[in-house]
Amino acid sequence: MEFNLEGKMFRSVTNTENGEVGADTLFSYHQRESVVWAEYEGGDVVKGQLVANVLASGQLDMRYHHINRRGEIMIGKCLSTPELLSGGKIRFKEEWQWLSGDMSSGYSEIVEQ
């Protein structure tokens, strides 16, 4: 699947219990060729950033970091798989793992707004 994420906004629609991103977290995406980056905040996230490479499969291989409401700096990695929804919006299905804290893994989905 080919896409351009420049200027697109996404919101979390589901996350496992060990995640910190929720329905109040808004992502602002940018893209230049196969490089993607975003800023995110809201809910339990005070401020966050991510960077990703677009793989040949269309998946995003990303790393992220943010400061949560407890003042902790959290970091992680994620493999994000795009899905085109009816109406042309994009959903990303995300398998992630903390690289800080308890090192646990989880699953989340974000949808284009």
* Residue 4 is assigned to a structural domain of this protein: no
pTM of the model as a whole:
0.94
Number of domains making up the chain: 1
CATH value at residue 35? 2.40.128.30
What is the per-residue pLDDT across 51-64, written as a single tens digit (0 to 9) for each?
A: 999 999 999 999 99
* Residue 2 is assigned to a structural domain of this protein: no
Per-residue pLDDT at 66: 98
* Residue 92 is assigned to a structural domain of this protein: yes
Extract the residue ranges of the chain whose pLDDT is less than 50.
Answer: none
User: In which domain, by residue range, is 20 found?
Assistant: 9-112
* Residue 3 is assigned to a structural domain of this protein: no
* Residue 63 is assigned to a structural domain of this protein: yes
- Computed from CA positions of residues 98, 37, 112, 57, in that sequence, does the dihedral angle turn out positive or negative? negative
* Residue 37 is assigned to a structural domain of this protein: yes
Per-residue pLDDT at 51: 98
Q: Could you please report the per-residue DSSP string of 25-84?
A: -EEEEEEETTEEEEEEEETTEEEEEEEEEEPTTS-EEEEEEEEETTS-EEEEEEEEEEEE
| Average pLDDT score, the chain | 97
Per-residue pLDDT at 1: 75
* Residue 78 is assigned to a structural domain of this protein: yes
